[in-house]
Each structure stands twice: as C-alpha cells, then as structure tokens.
C-alpha cells in the first residue's frame, strides 16, 4: 500500500524529469540534442555503482551478524546493479557511437563499467552455483567484499593504461564553464529519481523474498 504510493510519486517525478529533458534542456554546443541521452546514462551509471556499494556493505553486515536479511539485500542489490550496469553500458556505447564514431574502444570508463559487469556476473554465477542457503550467503558475502577491495586499484591503474575521451563526471566538457543551471537541476532531479527508483525496486525485491519463505525480516 505504502509502496504503491511511493511508486506513483516516483513515476510522476520521472515523467516530470523526462518532460524537462526533452523540453527545458537546451542542445549543447558540439553534442546537440545527443546531450539528452546523458540524462539517462549518468543516473543509471551512478545507480550501478551505488548498488555495488550497497551490496558490499550489506555483505559485511551479513558476515558480522549472520542474519539472512542482509544476504537478501546484498543479492537483490547486485541483481539490480547488473541490470543498471547493462543499461549504462548500452547507453554509453550508443552515445560513444554517435559522438566518437565507435561503439567500443576500451575507454577507461568503458573498461571500468565492464569490470563492474564482470564482477556482478561472477557474484551472481557464484550464488547460483551453491545450493545451501547459509553457505551461499557467507561465500557470496566474502566475494562481494573481495571484489570491492579491487576497486581502488582499478581507479589507479586504468587511467594509466588507456587514454580517455569520456567527458568529466559532471557532463559538459564541451561548454565546461557555462553548464547552464537548468541542466544541472535537471541532472540532479534525474539522479534523485533514478536513485529513488533503485531504492523502491530493492525494497520490493527484498520484501518479495521474505514472504514465500515464511520467515519474517526480523528473524
């Protein structure tokens, strides 16, 4: 019931953001109307990283407390993260094709998102390969934490290996100084909307797990 209300609010919010993206945001010099794709690409990329973080933190919580609810959150977050990661990769590749001329050229950002994709994939493959629930939870949690450990190393090594064409995290490397306030606000609104959507999907996916097994969240 409560979740339905929140879902409606988020839907309206996202519809509003979409209206703003197509009507309020001006075309950017050099990118033209393609810039509108960024209002999808940046939020989903952000959420895929956020989901990774949530998965690692709840994995640590599971190992500390051994309560299965943390394992469910960790697993659901990783699944959603994989989905958002896929969306970010595909939208990024399309954007790259339209602006750089090739779908894929192992740009640092592309490499990073691809490694994230591999990590999520390996995590979920590991989960599906172990049957016993508690054993699976412990092993998957250890893997999530181990995977998270490698992230700082990647941040260091990858920019040294490859040359990047990717714009700076806050878009508008083209018109760097004058990112129009309206673009910034719309981008922030899109980020908020996407994050809220992730939160909603995560909570409903975790809730879905607790009902069929007959165990409450607070066991």
Partner 1 sequence: MPTVKLSFSSAVWAVLVKDTVCESRTRYAVGILVMFGLTSLSSVSMAVAGAALSPEFAAALLWVVLFFCAMAGLARVFVQEHETGTLLGLRLYAPGQAVFYGKLLFNQILLAGLSCLIVPLFIVFLNVNINEWVLFTLILALGDAGIAAVSTLTAAMVIYAQAKQAIFTVLTFPVFLPQFLSAIYATAKVLSGSAPAMEELVFMFGYDAAVVAAGVLLFDYLWQE
User: Which positions touch partner 1 (CB under 8 A)?
Assistant: 63, 115, 118-119, 121-122, 125-126, 129-132, 135, 138-139, 141-143, 145-147, 149-150, 153-154, 156-158, 160-161
Q: Are 80 and 198 in contact (CB under 8 A)?
A: yes
Other C-beta atoms closer than 10 Å to the C-beta of 4 total: 8
Nearer to partner 1, 10 or 119 (CB): 119
Q: Which of 41, 46, 52 is nearest to 93 (CA)?
A: 41
- Least distance to partner 1, CB of residue 138, Å: 6
Nearer to partner 1, 6 or 130 (CB): 130
Widest Cα–Cα separation across the chain: 57
- Least distance to partner 1, CB of residue 141, Å: 7
Q: Assign 3-class secondary structure to 106-159.
A: CCHHHHHHHHHHHHHHHHHHHHHHCCCHHHHHHHHHHHHHHHHHCHHHHHHHHH
Nearer to partner 1, 1 or 149 (CB): 149
Running DSSP on this structure, what letter comes out for residue 178? T
Nearer to partner 1, 76 or 112 (CB): 112
Q: Are 72 and 219 in contact (CB under 8 A)?
A: no
Nearer to partner 1, 25 or 116 (CB): 116
Nearer to partner 1, 103 or 148 (CB): 148
Q: How far apart are the first and last CA of the chain?
A: 23
- Least distance to partner 1, CB of residue 43, Å: 24
Tokens coding 158: 């990858």
- Least distance to partner 1, CB of residue 156, Å: 7
- Least distance to partner 1, CB of residue 78, Å: 13
Compute CA distances 219 → 16, 36, 69, 216, whole Å: 40, 46, 8, 6
Its sign, for the CA torsion 158, 159, 164, 168, is positive
- Least distance to partner 1, CB of residue 135, Å: 5
């Amino acid at each position: 019931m409560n979740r339905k209300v929140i879902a409606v609010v988020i839907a309206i919010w996202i519809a509003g953001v979409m209206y703003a993206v197509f009507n309020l945001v001006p075309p950017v010099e050099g990118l033209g109307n393609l810039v509108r794709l960024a209002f999808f690409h940046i939020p989903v990329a952000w959420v895929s990283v956020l989901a990774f973080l949530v998965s690692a933190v709840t994995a640590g919580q599971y190992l500390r407390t051994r309560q299965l609810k943390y394992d469910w959150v960790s697993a659901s977050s990783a699944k959603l993260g994989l989905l958002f990661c896929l969306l970010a990769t595909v939208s990024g590749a399309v954007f790259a094709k339209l602006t750089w001329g090739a779908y894929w050229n192992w740009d640092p950002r592309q490499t990073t998102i691809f490694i994230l994709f591999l990590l999520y994939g390996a995590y979920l493959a590991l989960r599906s390969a172990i049957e016993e629930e508690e054993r699976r939870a412990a092993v998957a949690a250890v893997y999530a934490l181990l995977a998270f450990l490698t992230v700082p190393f990647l941040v260091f090594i990858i920019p040294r290996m490859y040359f990047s064409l990717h714009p700076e995290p806050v878009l508008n490397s083209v018109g760097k100084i004058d990112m129009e306030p309206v673009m910034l606000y719309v981008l922030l609104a899109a980020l908020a909307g996407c994050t809220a959507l992730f939160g909603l999907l995560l909570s409903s996916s975790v809730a879905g797990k607790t009902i069929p097994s007959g165990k409450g969240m607070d066991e």
